[in-house]
Structure 1
Amino acid sequence: MTRIIADISVSLDGFVTGPDPGPENGLGTGGEALHTWAFSDDPDERRVLSEATARSGAVVLGRRLFDLVDGPNGWDDRSGYGAAEVGRPAFVVVTSSPPRSVRLGDLDWRFVTTGLPDAVTVARERAATASSETGLDLDVVLMGGGATIASALDAGLVDTLTLHLAPVVLGAGTPLFTGAAPRTLVRRSVTATTNSTHLTYDVL
């Protein structure tokens, strides 16, 4: 069964970027510390990243995040979703206006203009197709940004929430939970690594 997994790095004080994020500074001031674990050579952190990308049958992201990863300082062969891993999932972008061109044209992009629930439906269909083709049990991963994941949680679209809790207090930035609808979480696993604590919850 295809699960909808929200997966994001967050500071101890609940921010998914540092202060003043923008096109040239996507993670905000100090926000790089949130993702130290993802670029580490620590074998436990490599395993966490590898397992996350391996289960991805499709990935959902918002337009702002797409503009960052597809921008001139965005993803490349060394940095990107599963850049060093085997296989590349379909990417589904929630946007009111699809871009006229895409720099990362070798990736499978779908642009959905009818809202987040429809984007999740498209991603679920893509993940199901990938599961059938590979014989693997693949999921939909919501990679962000923070507003996309918060909206998905509020709408009851998320089955599993994975937080990579970085040992940093940013003080300001983009909060993950602001005025969120109450949700009951059941802890499934906790994995402590050198640069992060990886928390996985089932969302009821």
Structure 2
Amino acid sequence: MTRVVADITISLDGFVTGPDAGPENGLGTGGRPLHTWAFSDDPGDQRFLQQGMERSGAVVMGRHLFDVVDGPGGWNDEVGYGAGEVGRPPFVVVTSEPPASVRLSELDWTFVTTGLADAIAVARDRVEAAPATGRERDVVLMGGGALIGSALAAGLVDELSLHIAPLLLGAGTPIFVAGPPRALVQRAAVVTSTATHLTYDVL
């Protein structure tokens, strides 16, 4: 069965960006070290990165994150979702209004204007309609923080994968928002030279 996996990097104090994040400053002030692990040579980091790419049957993101990755300083052939493998999964964007144009037109974009639950349903349909590969494929929520926080609060997430950077940002975009309590079952905890990778089932 297709699972919905929230996969995101956070600081030790729970922020997914530093302050003043925006299209020209995607990770906010001081936020660039958050993703050091994704470019690390540490075998543990590389294993998590590769596993994340392999399981991505479809990727859901919010409009703010789309504006960052599709902006002039966003994804390219070397930097993106899987870099050299970018474009393999379809991308589903939750937005109130589709953009007038898309820079990364070679990627498979779907814009959903009827809310997060519908966007996840569209992504699930895309995963389940894809040809079988012999590997499990999931719907991956890659952010931003507000989208993942909202998905957790709404009970839409099956698995939470956190990559905790050894960094205190003090302010920025938090991942967790007010909502009902959620029980978690810890499935894995791996410490590398640049991050702590935690995997939970969400009950």
TM-score for the superposition, normalised by structure 2: 0.96
Which amino acid in structure 2 is aligned with residue 6 of structure 1? A
Aligned partners of 2:86, 2:68: CA distance in 1, in Å?
23
Residue aligning to 1:111: 111
- Kept after mapping to 1: 8 A contact 2:87/2:108: no
Give the superposed CA RMSD.
Answer: 1.2
Where do 5+ consecutive residues of structure 1 fail to align? none
Residue aligning to 1:53: 53
Residue aligning to 2:64: 64
Which amino acid in structure 2 is aligned with residue 62 of structure 1? G
Moved more, 62-71 or 44-53: 44-53
Deviations 1:77-108 (A, max 9, x none): 11100113487100000001001111111110
Residue aligning to 1:16: 16
In the TM superposition, 1:15-164 aligns within 5 A as 15-85=15-85, 88-130=88-130, 132-164=131-163
SS of match in other structure, 1:61 = strand
Deviations 1:47-86 (A, max 9, x none): 1101101100000000000000000000001110011348
Aligned partners of 1:138, 1:88: CA distance in 2, in Å?
12
For residue 44 of structure 1, report the CA deviation from its aligned partner.
2.0
Aligned partners of 2:154, 2:93: CA distance in 1, in Å?
17
Aligned partners of 1:82, 1:22: CA distance in 2, in Å?
22
For residue 194 of structure 1, report the CA deviation from its aligned partner.
1.1
Percent of residue pairs identical:
68
SS of match in other structure, 2:17 = coil
Aligned partners of 1:124, 1:98: CA distance in 2, in Å?
20
Which amino acid in structure 1 is aligned with residue 55 of structure 2? R
Deviations 1:82-140 (A, max 9, x none): 1134871000000010011111111100000000000000000111122x342321000
- Alignment length (residue pairs): 203
- Kept after mapping to 2: 8 A contact 1:59/1:140: yes
Aligned partners of 1:80, 1:28: CA distance in 2, in Å?
18
Which amino acid in structure 1 is aligned with residue 201 of structure 2? D
- Kept after mapping to 2: 8 A contact 1:50/1:85: no
In the TM superposition, 1:153-192 aligns within 5 A as 153-192=152-191
TM-score for the superposition, normalised by structure 1: 0.96
Deviations 1:131-170 (A, max 9, x none): x342321000000000000111111100000000000000
SS of match in other structure, 1:124 = helix
